[in-house]
Every structure is written in structure tokens, then in C-alpha cells.
A = this chain, B = another copy of it.
């Protein structure tokens, strides 16, 4: 790409536990990130907050503090596991500069807010970060972001034939 050797780009990649997300990151590494560039990949994971349900009598919470602590622990472990996998993909491909961020909240809001806050040049995401049922209720993350983000958005779909998330078909 023109001027890739001198330009420092910030590319935000939304990562989660899905195979679509891993595929999008791999595709980005193979097709967008220049080998000797000064690109920085910012891997962003949106952690779901431990939801609090007010009890029916309004005096307390349905979840005990132990359960909430356990949910938070699970969320932190999941974030760590996703980030480790994502960093390994970056390392395996070529040694691109990587930053990681874990934020708490709805992925749609987190991605848009962080893209704005960090002033990134581009956002990369898989097309199906949610499962089918959750997506039906919450709507598509990529649709929302494509509409709301002010910077360019790359939506990468994982072909059904893709055997491995780390081996994007277009580069074979």
C-alpha cells in the first residue's frame, strides 16, 4: 500500500471467543497489515458485565456476591484466553505490534466508543460475534458498528468451508 512504510496506522480488531473473530484477525494479518509497516493492532475484547437482577421485593439482588464474583472470574479468564489466542495468531503470522484492551459492556458500544477514543484508522471485525439466538435479540454487532462508526469498517465473513480459523481461505 502507498506510504505503508512511513505511516503509523492504528487498526482496531474486535476479538471474542468465536471462530469468526479468529478468522477475521487472521484475514486482517494476511491482507491488511503490511509486513514492514508501523501498524499497530489493537485487540479489543468486550467483557459482559455481571448482570444484577433486583429481587422482586426490591430489597436485594437475585445473585449472591459469591455468584457475581464467580461470574467475574469466569469473564476474566475468558478475556485472558481470547487475548492469548489472538496474540498467538499475531505472533505466528508476522511480528506486528500489538496492544490489548479489555473493556466491560455491550460489544457494540465498546467497539464504537473505543474506536472514537483511540482515534483508530480502521476497525476490523468478524460478522458473527454472537450466537444465532442472541443475535436475533440483540441485533448484529457488525451491522450496528458499520452504521455507527465514523472510520472505515472491514467486516470479514468466515466461509463455511473454512476448516481452520487461522487459515483464511482467500490466501490459499
Give chain A's interface residues, CB within 8 Å of chain B.
Answer: 1-4, 7, 9, 27, 29-35, 93-94, 121-122, 127, 140, 142-143, 146-147, 149-157, 159, 170-171
Contacts and interface: CB of A to CB of B under 8 A. Distances in A.
Contact of A155 (B3, B35, B155): B155
A152 B149 contact: no
B31 A121 contact: yes
A151 B147 contact: no
Contacts of A31: 1, 9, 32, 121-122, 152
11 contacts: A1-B32, A1-B33, A2-B29, A2-B33, A2-B93, A4-B34, A9-B170, A140-B147, A150-B159, A152-B170, A153-B154
Contacts of A143: 143, 146-147
Contact of A142 (B146, B151, B159, B170): B146
A141 to B, nearest CB: 12
Nearest to A147: B143
A30 B6 CA distance: 12
Given A2-B93, A34-B1, A171-B7, A27 B152 contact: yes
